[in-house]
């Protein structure tokens, strides 16, 4: 089956795309939560700053999350459609989620850390599955 003369990626790569889409939606949802908290004036007791710019931390973090997770979301969709671009941002996010999961464990967020770790490992296993790697090399000329 093809999409505009492009062969569809193998199932492991499509599943990795689905995982990345879900991860991105969570990240974008958190960005929305940060903006909402800034709008209603919620106080962040974990922020230790006496500077005038401390009030912009929520917006700045939300913008950062929107850029990162928006890029990964776009990449995951492109990867699922068999386009050339997309695998790199998905791989990078999931590699970064491994130490983030460790940080969650050390901070006492065991359930969230477990979900993060399992999703990252599953996505990486599927991204580097031999069928996925062979498809990517064949479809994109090994680049």
pLDDT over threshold 90, residue 52 = no
> What is the pLDDT averaged over residues 72-88?
92
**Considering the entire predicted model, what is its pTM?**
0.87
Spatial separation of the C-alpha atoms in residues 139 and 7, rounded to whole Å: 8
Specify the 3-state DSSP secondary structure of 2.
Answer: strand
Residue-wise pLDDT for 9-45, tens only, equals 999 999 999 999 999 999 999 999 999 998 998 877 7
Which of 28, 47, 31 shows the shortest CA–CA distance to 39?
A: 31
């Amino acid at each position: 089956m093809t999409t505009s003369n492009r062969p569809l990626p193998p199932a492991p790569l499509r599943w990795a795309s689905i995982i990345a889409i879900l991860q991105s939606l969570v990240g974008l949802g958190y960005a929305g939560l940060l903006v909402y908290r800034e709008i209603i004036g919620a106080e962040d007791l974990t922020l230790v700053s006496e500077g005038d710019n401390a009030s912009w931390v929520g917006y700045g973090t939300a913008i950062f999350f929107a850029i990162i997770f928006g890029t990964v979301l776009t990449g995951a969709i492109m990867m699922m459609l068999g386009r050339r671009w997309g695998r790199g941002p998905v791989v990078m996010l999931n590699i970064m989620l491994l130490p983030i999961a460790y940080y969650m464990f050390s901070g006492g967020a065991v359930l969230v850390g477990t979900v993060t770790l399992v999703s990252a490992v599953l996505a990486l296993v599927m991204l580097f599955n031999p069928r996925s790697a062979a498809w990517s090399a064949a479809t994109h000329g090994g680049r």
